[in-house]
């Protein structure tokens, strides 16, 4: 009896232990599955974080390249611009203004991209010091380029003001030149008029008259007369007081120094110094009268009369 009871107790104990072992096994299996799920979840989160990080790094690297390309373009374009104090063509000025607008637009886009990168980096919770340093450097460079563009715009404005001043000065000079030209034209007209008057007076002063012929011809044409003497002795021919100028040949004293005679004898009736002229002979006759000293010849009278015989 005792043996059966002991055997029963043993069986019960073994059964209890088996149940406990099963329960413990179930619990262990359950805990292990839970830990596996947690690990899987952590792995998934970590994988997502790495993917996000990789995406962020790629996007930021691409954006950095775009910003640096913009800054390089702006710097090169700014170096190409030359703004001096000379007046440039309108098309040149418009091109400079357009370039400045383009540079401002590119710098503004770069600033927006930098702000976007900064916000995205902060919201991601990812700490990438090299990116923060690069963002700070690009921000500073954009600010510097903005300052340079501002100086460029100020230089352009200064040049425009100087050009406007030059245009005003040129306009004033043009007006003065126009007044001077009008004054010069008036003076030229006056000088031309005075010159014409002077020429007329000189021509008038240099007018002279010549007549030749026998005494009879000269007397009949109102050029000479005789006075003095007795019985045809001591009478002298002289010019009449009221000369008939229509019988004379008008000439210019400045370019006349020869009077044709073509007679064996001749006598100068008008008053002229003997030293101021001479006769030129040809084949036993007087060919012409040659004036040797025009100033002396015409000093007393402007009428030259030669009586031929």
Mean pLDDT confidence for 229-236: 50
Q: 212 and 161 share a domain?
A: no
Domain membership of residue 187 (yes or no) is no
**Contact 296/201 with Cβ under 8 angstroms?**
no
Q: 38 and 151 share a domain?
A: yes
Burial annotation 129-138 (CB, 10 A radius, 16+ → b, else e)? eebeebbeeb
| Higher-pLDDT residue of 241, 101 | 241
Mean pLDDT confidence for 231-251: 80
Choose the weakest-confidence range: 42-51, 73-82, 154-163, 283-292.
42-51
Q: How many domains does the chain have?
A: 2
Q: 36 and 101 share a domain?
A: yes
Q: Which two tokens stand for residue 170?
A: 């040129």
CATH number at residue 113: 1.20.58
Q: 219 and 154 share a domain?
A: no
Domain membership of residue 11 (yes or no) is no
Range of the domain at 50: 27-165
Domain membership of residue 13 (yes or no) is no
pLDDT at 12: 62
pLDDT at 262: 93
Q: 147 and 36 share a domain?
A: yes
Q: 126 and 233 share a domain?
A: no
Q: 31 and 134 share a domain?
A: yes
Domain membership of residue 3 (yes or no) is no
Q: 161 and 60 share a domain?
A: yes
Q: 34 and 148 share a domain?
A: yes
pLDDT averaged over every residue in the chain: 79
**Contact 236/229 with Cβ under 8 angstroms?**
yes
Domain membership of residue 70 (yes or no) is yes
**Mapped to the 3 state alphabet, what secondary structure does the chain carry?**
CHHHHHHHHHHHHHHHHHHHHHHHHHHHHHHHHHHHHHHHHHHHHHHHHHHHHHHHHHHHHHHHHHHHHHHHHHHHHHHHCCCCCCCCCHHHHHHHHHHHHHHHHHHHHHHHHHHHHHHHHHHHCCCCHHHHHHHHHHHHHHHHHHHHHHHHHHHHHHHHHHHHHHHHHHHHHHHHHHHHHHHHHHHHHHHHHHHHHHHHHHHHHCEEEEEEECHHHHHHCCCEEEECCECCECCEEEECCCCCHHHCEEEECCCCCEEEEEECCEEECCCCCHHHEEEEECCCCEEEEEECCHHHHCCCCCEEEEEEC
Domain membership of residue 229 (yes or no) is yes
Domain membership of residue 192 (yes or no) is no
pLDDT at 229: 46
Q: 47 and 132 share a domain?
A: yes
Domain membership of residue 217 (yes or no) is yes
Q: 214 and 159 share a domain?
A: no
Backbone angles phi, psi at 138, to 5 degrees: -65, -40
Considering the entire predicted model, what is its pTM?
Answer: 0.44
Q: 158 and 69 share a domain?
A: yes
Backbone angles phi, psi at 260, to 5 degrees: -65, 140
């Amino acid at each position: 009896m005792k043996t059966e009871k002991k055997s029963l107790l043993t069986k019960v104990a073994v059964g209890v232990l088996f149940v406990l072992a099963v329960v413990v096994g179930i619990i262990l299996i359950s805990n292990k599955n839970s830990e596996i799920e947690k690990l899987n979840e952590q792995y998934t989160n970590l994988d997502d974080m790495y993917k996000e990080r990789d995406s962020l790094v790629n996007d930021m690297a691409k954006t950095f390249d775009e910003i640096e390309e913009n800054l390089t373009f702006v710097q090169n374009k700014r170096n190409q611009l030359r703004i001096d104090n000379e007046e440039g063509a309108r098309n040149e000025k418009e091109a400079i203004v357009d370039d400045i607008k383009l540079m401002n637009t590119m710098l503004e886009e770069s600033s927006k991209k930098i702000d976007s990168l900064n916000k995205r980096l902060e919201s991601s919770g990812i700490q990438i010091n090299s990116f923060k340093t690069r963002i700070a450097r690009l921000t500073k460079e954009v600010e510097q380029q903005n300052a340079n563009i501002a100086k460029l715009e100020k230089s352009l404005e200064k040049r425009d003001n100087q050009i406007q001043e030059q245009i005003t000065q040129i306009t004033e000079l043009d007006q003065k030149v126009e007044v001077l030209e009008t004054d010069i034209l008036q003076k030229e007209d006056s000088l031309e008029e005075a010159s014409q008057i002077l020429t007329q007076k000189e021509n008038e002063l240099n007018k002279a008259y010549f007549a030749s012929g026998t005494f009879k011809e000269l007397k009949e044409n109102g050029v000479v007369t005789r006075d003095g003497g007795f019985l045809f002795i001591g009478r002298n021919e002289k010019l009449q007081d009221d000369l008939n100028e229509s019988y004379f040949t008008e000439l210019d004293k400045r370019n006349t120094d020869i009077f044709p005679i073509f007679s064996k004898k001749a006598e100068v009736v008008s008053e002229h110094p003997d030293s101021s002229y001479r006769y030129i002979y040809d084949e036993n006759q007087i060919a012409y009268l040659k004036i040797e000293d025009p100033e002396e010849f015409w000093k007393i009278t402007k009428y030259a009369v030669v009586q031929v015989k």
